[in-house]
Amino acid sequence: MADRPKPFSTEWMSAPQPDPERPHLFSDRIRTAITGIARPLPGERTLSVWVLAVLVVGSLLMSGPQGQAHLNELAAMNQAATPSPVIDWGEPETDASKASISTDSLAVTEDDASIASITATPPELQLGLDESTEQDALTPDGLLPENRILTFYGFPGNEEMGILGEHDKQRVLEMMREQAAKYEAADPSRPVLVGFEVIASVAQPEPQADGSYLLDTPSDVLDEYAKFTAANDILLFLDVQVGRRTVEAEIEGLRPWLELPHVHLAIDPEFAMREGEIPGDHIGQIDASDITFAQQWLVELTAEVGIPPKVLMVHQFHYTMIENKDQVAPMAGVQLVIDADGFGPPATKTEAYNVVIGQMPIEYHGIKLFYKQDVPLMTPEEVLELEPVPSVIVYQ
């Protein structure tokens, strides 16, 4: 009691009142009984240790095999994740291009995402990638290899289908010549010839009246571009998408324009459909025999009409697009170009170029570049560093 004031003293009298005691929930008798019962139980520290031990043992018993929860989490993440983009050598970036065109306005739309991807090439096609070299010119009076060819691709008046449709003809010509000047600056040893590549038949998702899944570019449009290119001393390539027609029928239909000295031919196997296939749902294909037929047809045409040799360009972004490709061979009197199509960053395009061009020795080599989809766009210096060096560069 030493810490308390002495009773009845002055200190006691002046000391503040102690805090009132809180009322107890139970009476003194009940509290005494509870204390007697609890006295044999473990102390507070011991009880805490027991509770902790129970929790640890319980968690171990309830968990699965070691690491299983993490594996399940990773599996769920893998299933939910968006696959990384791969080079599918197919033009979006996924499977095949969808186009629609009205017979009135010829307003074409194209699903770019379907054109950008390239599927991995089977191992057997990876062999001999460095064996491809340009052959000695079988056609000495042809445009190649003394020159390099640069074209702007598209459908007239439709900006969704390439640079050619984004501007009027005169502006496109100015832009194309500016682009060509950059290649001549990068490689002054090889003059650059420029030209328009006009889509002459446009693939459709519907059969059309003749069941071809194609609509032809009107003759007056082809006439207009043939006259403009001739007047400006540039080349004109007519690109056929084939649909369910034959390569033979497509080429024969363009005879009036192919008889002109400055007009050349391009074939796009992406839209060459078999029975049961639909443009936009399937990636098309042509056979080596189709290319051989086109070569022979052009040789005979130039001999018959008495005009300079033609260039035949075949676009390819997927290894299935040219069947029996090992049977494709250069032919005197016509100059064959295999163009590595498809878009992506420089490393992806370089890989695809090596695969498409390197499957076998090709007479001349080409590459297509996309102003909108190639990010970043390869520079002329980067294009000319490809091996073998492209003889034809197409911009879409």
Full set of structural domains in the chain with CATH: 99-395 (3.20.20)
Q: Are 138 and 332 in contact (CB under 8 A)?
A: yes
Amino acid letter, residue 165? G
The pLDDT of residue 110: 36
The pLDDT of residue 382: 97
386 vs 203, 332, 352, 393, CA distance in Å? 31, 26, 11, 12
Q: Which residue numbers in the chain have pLDDT < 50? A: 1-2, 4-15, 17-18, 20-21, 60, 62-135
**Distance between CA atoms of 213 and 96, rounded to whole angstroms?**
14
User: In sequence order, what are the residues at sequence separation of 6 or more whose Cβ sits closer than 8 angstroms to the Cβ of residue 109?
Assistant: 98, 99, 100, 158, 160
**Distance between CA atoms of 22 and 141, rounded to whole angstroms?**
115
Neighbouring CB atoms inside 10 A of 270's CB total 28
Q: Reduce the DSSP state of residue 161 to 3 states and report it.
A: helix
The pLDDT of residue 77: 31
pTM of the model: 0.69
Q: Which two tokens stand for residue 73?
A: 């989490």
The pLDDT of residue 66: 38
Q: Which two tokens stand for residue 74?
A: 């990773």
CA torsion, ordered 162, 164, 165, 166, to nearest 10 deg: 90
**Distance between CA atoms of 253 and 88, rounded to whole angstroms?**
32
Q: Which two tokens stand for residue 333?
A: 């009197």
